[in-house]
Structure 1
């Protein structure tokens, strides 16, 4: 018989790693952040957002974009938080949800919320399978680079007999946006705890999060 696994403990780095997520929730409490008629963040608040989440050195910010349309990383971050049920559009405002305000009061509850929502629905089989492979790769020992984790995930997709839409074989170095929620959440962690979160990997916090999601 196997023994039951130990209950994952929130790592000590988690509050700092979740700092940018908490900033969004607090900034969107009350009056919220203004949105354009097309549903993007108003250009007037973009500098405030970049400074608030500490993403001055994010790749797309460095390209000099002034609107959310051109700041892909900021846009993806906001959409991820909406997908996780932490933010919502209300008229022409981006506001925090009631659930977000509850979990924002306790880092352990915010961590648990992210763990619970990190996996996409099993009904979206391709993304679900890719996310599970990414989780297992990240949960493994060693300090593998992000490039290595992508290669391991793509190898797993080949073993499951996935191919590209045009029938091409999935290669180790192919870039894809599978595992959306998990990838987006761990990017926030990297950006918060590393000087160069665009390219580095926050191994311990990513591993702890992957293990917690796998056990959830």
Structure 2
């Protein structure tokens, strides 16, 4: 009855199921070990892996793990699909969303979704799509949850068969490729073998090799470079499986840490240039008839600048004193000085930074590594990484060679860049670092890290730009 005494007609309202979308789940309160199985769809015999990850990782953190587990090279776009229809959702890369490649009606970013929001109970599945052209689809199944007190280490437990080569045409193309490789009489057998390379074995899988890659992946995840830096962009072009030594240095470089006296680093890194700019002065330095610095100025530089008196020649001619000549050339290359009517004069920037270590420091951070060619710049970045990580000279040469090879650089005869060539390729940056004292001279011979702390901080800051 209602308050007015009239009888109200009541009807039964049917239950309407509430659809909880995967990304709306709250996730687990405590981190658990997720035992997952991933299998490549539409490939026979199956290519699969079993692995363990922490439940609290976000999907963009799971992506490089999946790449390493499977053996892909991370050279294409990817996305995820979680849940069952009608509650399924697609999770895209931040890059895909920003560039407008994702569906405008369903723009959920992978970096906003935790794994335990899309996989909550054993048996639930998540799809991983890689290379939209070839169309590699993977099914990930949550097999078991370990809810003990320790956070699990990302580990591969088992697997079968090698990952297909990149860009082979998806499941159908891979099947055709395997048939050609297995048929020596096929007209395309030789070319197919040359394309996949001599090390490709379809039936091979090594769990130890995968776990070595996962340990590197953990270093990248725990000790990343500044995400929007030029160096980070360079690292994204290097497959970490091809350059393990390069990526292992991230753990020692601590690129996002700023430990050390920044003012001391600014003063030390800019000392030689500031001294030279002040010596040029507002009126400039009249050069010799041959276009060199006067002997008196050279003698003064050798006396006043640290390290300049170590050069073996006793002559005060600029052509005999390599450090003097290098400092002059670097001042010009950095836009701080120029030659004008028989004089060496300061540019506007040179005058503005002559007594301003902070501003000159910022200019150096923006201009380094020094290079005329792309390969010199990339070699310079690798030099700076070794300096930031405190490596020995022997390690430095190996790291640069490994990194350049992984980036695809080759010599004119088609061979990879070797340890013998790296000094010349990285020479512009190495010479500048040695000249300023950021790196100890004679790097090829040293077998102990001796570079100053401020030099390491300087390198970190350059790599953060």
Same fold (TM over 0.5): yes
Distance 2:349 2:327 in 1: 18
Q: Which residue of 2 aligns with 1:78?
A: 328
Distance 2:330 2:341 in 1: 19
User: Alpha carbons of 1:190 and 1:167: their partners in 2 closer, same or farther (altered >3 Å)?
Assistant: same
Matched, 1:48 2:300: yes
Q: Which residue of 1 aligns with 2:345?
A: 95
Distance 1:114 1:156 in 2: 24
Alignment size in residue pairs:
207
For residues 117-142 of structure 1, what are the alpha-carbon distances to aligned partners after superposition, in whole Å with 9 as ceiling and x for unaligned?
Answer: 11347x832112212222222222xx
Contact 2:269 2:436 in 1 (8 A): yes
Matched, 1:63 2:313: yes
Question: Larger % of helix: which?
Answer: 1
User: Alpha carbons of 1:205 and 1:165: their partners in 2 closer, same or farther (altered >3 Å)?
Assistant: farther
Select which of 441, 450, 459 maps to 1:198: 441
Segments of 5+ residues of structure 1 without an aligned counterpart are none
Matched, 1:125 2:342: no
Give the match's secondary structure for 2:339.
strand
User: Alpha carbons of 1:71 and 1:153: their partners in 2 closer, same or farther (altered >3 Å)?
Assistant: same
Distance 2:276 2:392 in 1: 28
Give the match's secondary structure for 2:319.
coil
Distance 1:97 1:7 in 2: 34
Distance 1:7 1:54 in 2: 28
Matched, 1:110 2:357: no
Give the match's secondary structure for 1:94.
strand
Select which of 2, 24, 32 maps to 2:276: 24
Matched, 1:182 2:429: yes
Residue 23 (structure 1) shift: 0.6
Q: State the TM-score, normalizing by the size of structure 1.
A: 0.79
Select which of 1, 12, 34 maps to 2:264: 12
Matched, 1:149 2:393: no
Give the match's secondary structure for 1:18.
helix
Q: Which residue of 1 aligns with 2:291?
A: 39
Give the match's secondary structure for 1:13.
helix
Residue 166 (structure 1) shift: 5.2
User: Which region of structure 1 is more displaced relative to structure 2, 69-78 or 9-18?
Assistant: 9-18
For residues 129-156 of structure 1, what are the alpha-carbon distances to aligned partners after superposition, in whole Å with 9 as ceiling and x for unaligned?
Answer: 212222222222xx32234223311221
Distance 1:96 1:72 in 2: 21
Contact 1:130 1:178 in 2 (8 A): yes
Q: Which has the larger radius of gyration?
A: 2
Contact 2:269 2:361 in 1 (8 A): no
User: Which region of structure 1 is more displaced relative to structure 2, 163-172 or 47-56?
Assistant: 163-172
Distance 1:56 1:213 in 2: 25
Residue 72 (structure 1) shift: 1.9
Q: State the TM-score, normalizing by the size of structure 2.
A: 0.40
Distance 1:54 1:10 in 2: 20
Contact 1:134 1:153 in 2 (8 A): yes
Segments of 5+ residues of structure 2 without an aligned counterpart are 1-110, 112-220, 227-255, 444-449
Distance 1:87 1:36 in 2: 17
Contact 2:387 2:455 in 1 (8 A): yes
Contact 2:301 2:308 in 1 (8 A): no
For residues 94-113 of structure 1, what are the alpha-carbon distances to aligned partners after superposition, in whole Å with 9 as ceiling and x for unaligned?
Answer: 12222122123322111111
Contact 1:17 1:188 in 2 (8 A): no
The higher-RCO structure (CA 8 Å, 6+ apart) is 1
Residue 206 (structure 1) shift: 2.4
Distance 2:263 2:401 in 1: 28
